[in-house]
């Protein structure tokens, strides 16, 4: 199932649980604005190359529309639309005053030089310049932003495990994806006493049942641009990473990786969705019957957008926080978010995914009505 169909399905289930008016439900699904632009740039060798860029602004009932740009060969309007919609619900779950948006450029960033990527980004930004601005996009930067999504994953995992009388220490983790989010999550889990037994990235996958030496692995990845060939571990088939034996599985790579083909083989007791839409609805049903607890993406990976919000606040105030304050505030937001999700689970007698979706959709629906929405 493609990302948009899956996201729409989860939204409609949440709307039904909330008893939303059908016209309001329909209007919440329709994006505020969709933009498609052609970005033509001179390559380093002097030839011209053209790339298609998209910007989808989904909803601004709760505040300026927030969302990054994805550089990937398979970027298409449906996927960008799904990610923009997920950002609307995510910012509402995190209870920060933003709406959702997403950008995407259809290109292979690995085949472009830094200067070519810069030119492409500048052209894309110029083309959509009139529709973005200081009340939509961030300036400057915040301490702690680099680690924010990974740190949020740690805080969210701690909140979930606490419900079961467990801590991160001693749990066995598998992390699919070792980019910014996966590598920070691994580092912070390792520091908290968790055992990361297997990780994968585009170069391959490695495993050590006694727990990987994460500090040394991070050095290896920096030097060799991937986990492949790390001396302190065994190489395994990257396709088997999701079904490796562990307590907690963290998909931190692409969407749709957990589906009906592999859901039955998953051995983890908990899945923490650090990627956007890693689990298909069909896999959700299979895993639910197996008793696997899934912490959904719109809560689990909200650390990044939450610290982006802190960044925005600091810019407006012209007052910079130290990293300890950023991390303390992030922990507070994630902790409160988990309580709010659990409250919706109790109210609607539903799982964590529907708890998060009903929470997000309800907040956006209320803001829409308060702004004077009429059918």
The residues annotated with a catalytic role in the active site are: 102
Contacts of residues 255-259 at CB distance under 8 Å and 24 or more positions apart, as own/partner, are 255/3, 255/79, 256/1, 256/2, 256/3, 256/6, 256/280, 257/176, 258/283, 258/287, 259/283
Q: Is 143 helix (H, G, I), strand (E, B) or coil?
A: coil
Hey, CA dihedral for 158, 85, 35, 375, is it positive or negative? negative
Q: How far apart are CA 117 and CA 41, in angstroms?
A: 10
Q: Using alpha carbons only, how large is the chain's radius of gyration in Å? A: 20
Closest CA to 72 of 124, 120, 109: 109
Find out whether 280 and 244 touch, Cβ atoms under 8 Å: no
Q: Is 308 annotated as a binding residue?
A: yes
For residue 309 the two structure tokens come to 């919000």
Identify any residues that bridge with 129 across adjacent strands, giving them in sequence order.
none
Q: What secondary structure does DSSP assign to 77-118, as a single string?
A: HHHHHHHHHHHHHHHHHTT-S-EEEEEEEES-GGGS-HHHHH
Q: How far apart are CA 85 and CA 79, in angstroms?
A: 10
Binding residues: 66, 90, 149, 180, 308
């Amino acid at each position: 199932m493609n990302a948009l169909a899956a996201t729409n399905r989860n939204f409609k289930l949440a709307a039904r649980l909330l008893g939303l008016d059908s016209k309001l439900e329909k209007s919440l699904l329709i994006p505020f604005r969709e933009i498609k632009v052609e970005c033509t740039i001179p390559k380093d060798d002097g030839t011209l190359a053209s790339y298609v860029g998209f910007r989808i602004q989904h909803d601004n009932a709760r505040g300026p529309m927030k969302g990054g740009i994805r550089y990937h060969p398979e970027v298409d309007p449906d996927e960008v639309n799904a990610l923009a919609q997920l950002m609307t619900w995510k910012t509402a779950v995190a209870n920060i005053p933003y709406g959702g948006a997403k950008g995407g450029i259809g290109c292979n960033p690995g085949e472009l030089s830094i200067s070519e990527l810069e030119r492409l980004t500048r052209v894309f930004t110029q083309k959509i310049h009139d529709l973005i601005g200081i009340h939509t996009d961030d300036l400057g930067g915040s301490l702690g932003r680099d680690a924010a999504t990974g740190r949020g994953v740690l805080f969210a995992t701690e909140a979930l495990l606490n419900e079961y009388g467990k801590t991160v220490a001693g749990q066995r983790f598998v992390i699919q994806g070792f980019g910014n989010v996966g590598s920070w999550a691994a580092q912070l889990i390792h520091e908290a006493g968790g055992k990361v037994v297997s990780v994968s990235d585009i170069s391959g996958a490695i495993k050590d049942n006694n727990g990987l030496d994460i500090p040394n692995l991070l050095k290896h990845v920096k030097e060799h641009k991937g986990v492949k060939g790390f001396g302190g571990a065994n190489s395994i088939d990257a396709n088997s990473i999701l079904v490796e034996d562990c307590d907690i599985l963290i998909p931190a790579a692409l969407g749709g990786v957990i589906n009906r083909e592999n859901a039955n083989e998953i051995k983890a007791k908990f899945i923490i969705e650090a990627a956007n839409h890693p689990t298909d609805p069909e896999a959700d049903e299979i895993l639910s019957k197996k008793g696997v607890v899934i912490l959904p993406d719109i809560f689990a990976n909200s650390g990044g957008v939450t610290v982006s919000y802190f960044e925005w606040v600091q810019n407006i105030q012209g007052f910079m926080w130290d990293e300890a304050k950023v991390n303390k505030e992030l922990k507070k937001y994630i902790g409160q978010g988990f309580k709010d999700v659990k409250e919706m689970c109790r109210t609607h007698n539903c799982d964590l995914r529907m708890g998060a979706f009903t929470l997000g959709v309800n907040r956006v629906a209320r803001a829409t009505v308060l702004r004077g929405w009429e059918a």
